[in-house]
Structure 1
């Protein structure tokens, strides 16, 4: 009797919920430089060609962003800004002056820049993959090669790549691309953020992806972070049926967030640059995290109060009758601004960022608060709340609250992103009206693990009991103070983890739009007391995997079967 090969399961990082079965289609390799480098006859002309290529890439990225909203637009516009970075251009021009042809100079300059970003860690390290995409696009322009892009096999497929650039991710046709698998990438990479914004199952940081070949059928489980190669028919059919059931069930999930016994849990959006009306059309109770960086990142000078007021007013009006939670500028050493230099730092993730930037550039914050207050006054039908990022102490909390209220803002809060803030949550909440937990940063600071490292997924897992314990301390403080406690990190997008968070005292969840129906569905099938019991299971677990599995077994079947 002929034996069949057992199904081979690859493991990675769960990046986008859901499942899919389809054949593999791989991204094409990046453009290669010819074996022989041409001599540079005219240095000035070669430098101009390099500058034009980088500008062409930036313009193309901005064009792609123009038809998008939210996370996707913000990511592409930030990448365009990188392509126009004066330091990158200077390094390219120096390479040409040293005798390198334009394409070679671009490759070398981008490589050096990538090394600097990776060494800096934090947010900057996450941008190394974006810079690789800029390099490949600029080299393609200079050599007259086709622009790197997505495969088009003519049938539904699982997209497999080394890594996936933002410019490619936002162009995915979700009718054809059923899931994403990448060899590289961490739990907070742009691939993860954008995959969730598109509602695609995704597994990143999967070493075995390098061996997957075109046409090989795989079953992707974006909840467990696994990829089954050549699954047997029963497994494939089970995954397909589960995906169909998930789509049907979630299509019926709408309205405000509620537990089965009627306890309100606000379901909100994470938002940034984009069309305010399009963002407002999503089925949500408002915005739980409005990233304001998009107003600042592509400028040589800060936006004026009038410019900020106009932008905020347009967005607030799109959410009339709902809540908008504005995060003040989250910038600093790891998100450098041309007009807000904070000096060199050996460890930017622990440096002058978020609210700390006001120590160096206080006018940036005061102007922003003035603009937000003016826009709030012009949109009286919208409930506007304002919070500061990277607040660590009660004194900082008091300082921000005083500044915000003096500017005319009535609802003031802070982000809980470092353990110090979580441990003193009672004192923080005595000074503000609400707090919002940023689980991505809180995880990296709690576990002393760089959030950009795909090699430490277990430490950065939001199911880590230590992280959940800190969230529980904040939740309990919120209950004692009768204050709102939100979560606006990636953890809020996981339906099972959302149940745990509510059991820990969290009162609002903010995520990408496609995540909200599943979270709403899960909440509606569990009482608040059941959520508390699930939270207890997770807190008492030894490992993230144990915590997740314990909750999965105890949760209602109609949720775990999705």
Structure 2
């Protein structure tokens, strides 16, 4: 996201106040003193600054660490043994951190723990590490060489793209912790003790670090890197710690400065007047309105879930149903496809809590490809799996897989009374695929059927498609990468993936209008729905339900409860008239 530095022109602000911009997490505005936590060494390949080029990687790492951080080993076997030991230790640490964490945070840490303890990781590191040779077959490992090896493994994952590409940052976090154990704390910016009533400033914030933050003593966080859907943002949201991430000019903020952090607008104001508060301010979006979009039932707030624990969390957070069940959790890590009976048992456990109220539960059929390989799905490796065989395209490649899942869902629907079970297919590209899915699902005995809108071709043909389905759900994460022609793992091009893009918003508005014309509900179930400010715009564009991570429900509900439908429509029109995502976010934030 572009940074808008310069003097503030907002009312009531001192003329010397400077504004920095990033991605907001949460709704509460807070002010406090900056405490800078460590200095993250620059990663190779320009991952932080975007200015690195071939040939200067080594110089970057050298400048961060120097040549003094090194360990001598008796040979490569001794090096392998030590790396294996440290990876096991890191895995145990991450497992321990996840034990008492909220479910979504625990899932992230547990996934990282599994990666750290994967025995193939040692082989991949040794294939990339370049220890300095010494006499008598000894070798010397320098910190810079170890970090470079981890980054090369991460780069390999990014090149695959898709789900595997998303694991690249996990490798970087694991590498930082391994380096800490081998060479002493430097990489992972350990947080030694709480900083009461402080706003912590990080150059980079890992999932493990974020999970250890104490909301009772830390009133806010600013991170120079990252995005609104990254691990750090998700964890900060779950801890209810206001934050601005992806703020590239954060390094300009001096240690000890008083700042105003306004996540609703994605703003950091340096030099803001006022004392450091003893507690966080309440949201400034306004009071509850009897004519708000929630009071008038203009939109439903649903949850995205990927496990039974997520479904329970959704209930506890007051979700009005489930807008997206990611069924991959039932299939991943299995040598054999789960039987129909096992699927029925799992779906029933997930759905039953929502039966008494008749709330909707929307299940997405299996969405895997060569980037999320399953042992029982024989798919050849693809250079770009995000554009390959995945989602509905598995039908012709793996006969019977979708039919058995649909059978399990139909049996679950028959067993669980009072449930509003809806089923949708991912990665639909053509009207022919829509017809095939609908025919297959109806033959299985399923009623309410829908599609994911992720592919621009389907979005452009939605007028013809809408009458064929009962509902549609816009997956903004994939839609943005296909619409803008940018890999969703390309962190250096994150601005192009911002769902605040007026082009994307106009497309979403057009889809909502076509849905209304055909009397087909259109929802948003991507990360865009978790942004409280963007939620106002989406509702104003005509979206009838928003499905998000359960921890975001309270913040989105609070904002929408203070905005009328008339105002939401005006703000939506204001946003789509802007030139870019930065301007759209800014103008709506200022209007609020």
What is the distance in 2 between the residues matched to 1:311 and 1:528? 38
Following superposition, the deviation at residue 471 of structure 1 comes to 0.9
* 2:512 corresponds to 1:505: no
Aligned to 1:345: 382
Identify if the C-alpha distance between structure 1 residues 233 and 454 changes in structure 2 by more than 3 Å, giving closer, same or farther: farther
Identify if the C-alpha distance between structure 1 residues 253 and 330 changes in structure 2 by more than 3 Å, giving closer, same or farther: farther
* 2:411 corresponds to 1:374: yes
Identify if the C-alpha distance between structure 1 residues 145 and 244 changes in structure 2 by more than 3 Å, giving closer, same or farther: closer
Aligned to 1:192: 233
Following superposition, the deviation at residue 293 of structure 1 comes to 2.8
Aligned to 2:84: 51
Following superposition, the deviation at residue 491 of structure 1 comes to 2.2
CA contact (8 A) 1:50 1:102 kept: no
Choose which of 71, 90, 93 in structure 2 pairs with 1:37.
71
* 2:218 corresponds to 1:183: no
Choose which of 293, 300, 303 in structure 2 pairs with 1:266.
300
Choose which of 82, 88, 95 in structure 1 pairs with 2:115.
82
Following superposition, the deviation at residue 246 of structure 1 comes to 1.6
- Gap regions ≥5 residues in structure 1: 555-559
Choose which of 296, 303, 313 in structure 1 pairs with 2:348.
313
What is the distance in 2 between the residues matched to 1:277 and 1:466? 36
What is the distance in 2 between the residues matched to 1:432 and 1:458? 33
Aligned to 1:169: 210
Deviation track 1:497-545 (CA, whole Å, cap 9, x = no partner) reads 3233223221111123343344334444555454434333333333334
Following superposition, the deviation at residue 302 of structure 1 comes to 4.2
- Gap regions ≥5 residues in structure 2: 1-13, 42-64, 132-137
What is the distance in 2 between the residues matched to 1:263 and 1:344? 46
Choose which of 315, 321, 333 in structure 2 pairs with 1:286.
321
Larger mean CA deviation between 481-490 and 202-211 belongs to: 202-211
Aligned to 1:23: 33
Question: Residue 492 of structure 1 aligns to a residue in which SS?
Answer: helix
Q: TM-score, normalised by structure 2?
A: 0.80
Following superposition, the deviation at residue 131 of structure 1 comes to 0.9
Larger mean CA deviation between 135-144 and 197-206 belongs to: 135-144
RMSD: 3.6
- What pairs with 1:19-418 in structure 2 (closer than 5 Å)? 19-28=29-38, 35-41=69-75, 43=77, 46-85=79-118, 87-92=120-125, 94=127, 107-142=147-182, 148=188, 149-212=190-253, 214-233=255-274, 244-246=281-283, 259=293, 262-273=296-307, 275=309, 276-320=311-355, 321=357, 322-340=359-377, 342-418=379-455
Aligned to 1:540: 577
- State how many pairs are aligned: 544
Choose which of 467, 486, 504 in structure 2 pairs with 1:430.
467
Identify if the C-alpha distance between structure 1 residues 300 and 431 changes in structure 2 by more than 3 Å, giving closer, same or farther: same
Choose which of 1, 4, 10 in structure 1 pairs with 2:20.
10
Aligned to 1:557: none
What is the distance in 2 between the residues matched to 1:88 and 1:42? 15
CA contact (8 A) 1:25 1:214 kept: yes
CA contact (8 A) 2:308 2:350 kept: no
Identify if the C-alpha distance between structure 1 residues 424 and 74 changes in structure 2 by more than 3 Å, giving closer, same or farther: farther
Following superposition, the deviation at residue 437 of structure 1 comes to 0.7
Following superposition, the deviation at residue 144 of structure 1 comes to 7.7
Larger mean CA deviation between 527-536 and 165-174 belongs to: 527-536
Identify if the C-alpha distance between structure 1 residues 282 and 91 changes in structure 2 by more than 3 Å, giving closer, same or farther: same
Deviation track 1:94-119 (CA, whole Å, cap 9, x = no partner) reads 57998767897864542221111333
CA contact (8 A) 2:300 2:544 kept: yes
What is the distance in 2 between the residues matched to 1:224 and 1:305? 47
Following superposition, the deviation at residue 188 of structure 1 comes to 3.1
Question: Residue 38 of structure 1 aligns to a residue in which SS?
Answer: strand
Deviation track 1:289-342 (CA, whole Å, cap 9, x = no partner) reads 222333344445444444433332222122232222222233224434455453
Identify if the C-alpha distance between structure 1 residues 146 and 253 changes in structure 2 by more than 3 Å, giving closer, same or farther: farther
